[in-house]
Structure 1
Amino acid sequence: MIRIGFFPGSFDPITNGHADILAGALALVDRVVVGIGTHPGKAPLFSFDERVAMIGELASTLADAAGRVEVTAFDGLTVTAAGAAGATVILRGLRDATDFDYEMQLAGMNGMMHPAIRTIFLPASPETRPITATLVRQIAKLGGDVSAFVPPFVARKLTQKFAS
């Protein structure tokens, strides 16, 4: 049986923190479906297609990721999207205790709605714990150097995005 994990997020943009969790996920499951959540009330910096391309480029740099990462969009409940993707686990990264408390609530509710889908928490590595896509966007928008927080190709795309 192929073990499929669902890794949800906005990935706007994908960061080194996301890369850290994706690499950890690939060590646990046979295939990872990266679910890009869309919200009608939010306008992302990068389009869905741009985020798909960035995730693909990142996956191409990870060991043993070839053919094991796919990307999909979803706009409803994460647990429903995970089920539709054939996942048996939802993969969530944890940076700190605040993340843990919130994610435990989500995991409990998701487990009640879809008991066959479990949540696995992956702790962020120490060097990626402070990274959030929101802070990366803010730093880049103000002309700061984000190269320590995102892959090089993402840093270039952020520079291009804010130069225009």
Structure 2
Amino acid sequence: MTTTPRIGVYPGTFDPVTLGHMDIIRRGAKLVDRLVVGVTTNASKSPMFSLDERMAMVRREVETIGGDIRVVSFDALLMKFAEREGASVIVRGLRAVADFEYEYQMAGMNQQLNDRIETVFLMADVSLQPIASKLVKEIAIFGGEIAKFVSPAVRAEVVARVEKIGRRGD
């Protein structure tokens, strides 16, 4: 008897990918046979990196994790993307109460769209809870140090981008 692999999707903008994201990817990959990291663009956010740059960044960062992890882009409703990937699980990370309220509402809406796909919430590691891509970018733009929040390679990319677009607060 052949069993169907359990597939999970972990969606996000990953602009840039942080140590918090990597914690959720690492732990989420243990829960499923295949984890599909879906990189998307949120129209309400102004990305520092292009979709292709973010895809390359995430691919490089997940190489060391092992397991069956795919990194793909998507520009669709999350549930359509999950269905296309054959997912039975959506993995979401939670940092704080504000995250929970938003994610709880989204999970309820997603369940209405497809009740065969479960949303699984993973609490961010306590040391990583305050990390948010938006704040990492803001710290970097104003000349702060971001080494505690991203890998050395991502730090180098963010610093180079900030130098290109111009740092503020000098």
TM-score range (shorter-chain normalised) is over 0.9
Q: Which stretch shows the higher mean deviation, 131-140 or 52-61?
A: 52-61
**Aligned-pair distance for 1:42?**
4.6
- The AA in structure 2 aligned to 1:6 is V
Once residues 48 and 12 of structure 1 are traced to their aligned partners in structure 2, the CA distance between those partners, rounded to angstroms, is 9
Aligned residues: 161
Q: Is residue 2:54 matched to residue 1:51?
A: yes
| Structure 1 residue ranges without an equivalent (≥5) | none
Q: Which stretch shows the higher mean deviation, 10-19 or 82-91?
A: 82-91
Specify the structure having the higher radius of gyration (Cα).
Answer: 2
- The AA in structure 1 aligned to 2:104 is M
**Aligned-pair distance for 1:40?**
4.8
Q: Which residue of 2 aligns with 1:24?
A: 27
Structure 2-normalised TM-score?
Answer: 0.90
| Structure 2 residue ranges without an equivalent (≥5) | 165-170
Q: Is residue 2:41 matched to residue 1:38?
A: yes
- The AA in structure 2 aligned to 1:18 is H
- The AA in structure 2 aligned to 1:77 is L
Q: Which residue of 1 aligns with 2:152?
A: 152
CA RMSD of aligned residues (A): 1.3
Local SS of the residue matching 2:49: coil
Q: Percent identity?
A: 43
Q: Which stretch shows the higher mean deviation, 1-10 or 32-41?
A: 32-41
Once residues 100 and 43 of structure 1 are traced to their aligned partners in structure 2, the CA distance between those partners, rounded to angstroms, is 23
- The AA in structure 2 aligned to 1:110 is N
